[in-house]
Amino acid sequence: MRHRLSSAETGPALRALAEWTPADAPSGGLHPGDLGWHLRFDDAEALLWTDGEAPVAVGYLDDGVLRVTTAPSADREALAAEVEELFDGAPGSVDGLPMPGWDRDPDAWAVLSWTPRPVTTRAQPVGAGDVADRVLVQRSAFKNSTFTIERRQAMLRSPAAALADDVLVRTPAGEPAAAATGWFAGEGRCGLLEPVGTHADHRGHGYGREAVWGACAALAARGASAVAVVTPVSNVAAVALYRSAGFTQLRENHDWIRRA
């Protein structure tokens, strides 16, 4: 059975995703942090599939892309049929569930993983007085970003708030330079970075790497066994940043797509 959950109702979905998160980088689909970042929108919804009372899949729709993770024991063929019904013949993409008869998207995503180790970084947790600067970095780093103080507040009102570790790096002059949000999935499970960004005025000085290390260190201190990040293979600069921060690329993922 498929259920639509409002942001305030996503606790069971987040708990299921955490339970399904492995010790190293997930193979695809959703991490609790992906859903947590999605919950910055006031009208955000999650999809929860259950078999009786037991969760078997969690996902959400993002501009025509269904991002989904299934329980290890789930009937993936039956879930693929459910997803076909969800799209109702319309074109779309699916990340995290093989779709028979659909094509593999040629554009790949790099999955990288960081093993906890000592790091030195100027990153600091985002406090009440840093929120406007945290938002400023996000909007400068991502040209089409719609992030606002209100959307950050919405995210932190959601059941995912306790999973987030938000850090900010400043220049020696105190200007906001880079930021990252790390997401915890539980002790002994892999954390996630989503998102990471450097202000356009401060690129090329290592601030992004420091933000990455700050979020990773915060997750490791909570007991994360590793930290994953996923970025398009075509984003050469991002892949280089994560490699310079000590991440190892584990695999490439491809969405499943159905064209018009």
Q: Over the stretch 231-249, which tens digit does the pLDDT of each residue have?
A: 999 999 999 999 999 999 9
- Residue 253 backbone dihedrals phi, psi, to 5 degrees: -110, 150
Contact 5, 46 (CB under 8 A): yes
Contact 216, 193 (CB under 8 A): yes
**Do 2-106 and 112-254 fold alike per CATH?**
yes
Q: Is the pTM of this model over 0.75?
A: yes
Q: Over the stretch 162-174, which tens digit does the pLDDT of each residue have?
A: 999 999 999 999 9
219: number of Cβ within 10 Å: 26
**Above 90 in pLDDT, residue 97?**
yes
**Above 90 in pLDDT, residue 112?**
yes
**Above 90 in pLDDT, residue 60?**
yes
Residues in the chain: 260
What confidence category does residue 260 fall into, taking pLDDT thresholds of 50, 70 and 90?
Answer: confident
CATH architecture of 2-106: 3-Layer(aba) Sandwich (3.40)
Neighbour-count burial of 63, counting CB atoms closer than 10 A to its CB (0-12 exposed, 13-18 middle, 19+ buried): exposed
Q: Which amino acid is at 48?
A: L
pLDDT at residue 104 in the model: 97
Q: Which of 37, 45, 44, 60 is nearest to 156 (CA)?
A: 37
Retrieve residue 49's tokens.
């599939």
Q: Over the stretch 182-220, which tens digit does the pLDDT of each residue have?
A: 999 999 999 999 999 999 999 999 999 999 999 999 999
Q: Over the stretch 61-92, which tens digit does the pLDDT of each residue have?
A: 998 999 999 999 999 999 999 999 999 999 99
pLDDT at residue 27 in the model: 83
pLDDT at residue 93 in the model: 97
Segments making up each domain of the chain, as ranges? 2-106, 112-254
**Above 90 in pLDDT, residue 19?**
yes
Return the CATH number of the domain spanning residue range 112-254: 3.40.630.30
* Phi-psi domain of 150 (left: phi exceeds 0; alpha: psi -120 through 50; beta: other): alpha
What confidence category does residue 99 fall into, taking pLDDT thresholds of 50, 70 and 90?
Answer: very high
